[in-house]
Amino acid sequence: MAGPTFDKLAKIMGTEDKEDRVNKIIGKIEERKNVTRDFAELKLHKLVCKGKCDWYREREPAERFNKDDLTEEEEQEIKEIVKGVTDSEFNETVRKDIHAVLCHPI
């Protein structure tokens, strides 16, 4: 499925549809793994979070997640879903974009 991805990559850099994309990714994880939306979001957060965000800092240690319980398999699966939605490999830009949406204070 080779094809020009330049336009799509440029789109990822845009801000207007980042939230939509992240919502889509969460929805697909939810479907694929048959889990709740919150759980799907947590899995995605584990993949993109390096434990330095406000979300993480503001929580008591017991409420924080353990990133290590995200298995290699789950990691690959989620990265594949991300790729399907964004048309981009899971890279640092994609990671930051997703994290910016997930950790945005509600």
Give the binding site for Zn ion (CB under 5 A).
49, 53, 55, 103
21, 86 Cβ separation under 8 angstroms: yes
Least distance between Zn ion and beta carbon 70 (Å): 13
Distance CA 78, CA 80 (A): 5
Cβ nearer to Zn ion, comparing 8 with 51: 51
Least distance between Zn ion and beta carbon 94 (Å): 15
Cβ nearer to Zn ion, comparing 11 with 64: 64
Does residue 9 sit in helix, strand or coil?
Answer: helix
Least distance between Zn ion and beta carbon 102 (Å): 6
Rounded (5°) CA angle 41-24-87 = 115
Cβ nearer to Zn ion, comparing 8 with 59: 59
Distance CA 92, CA 77 (A): 17
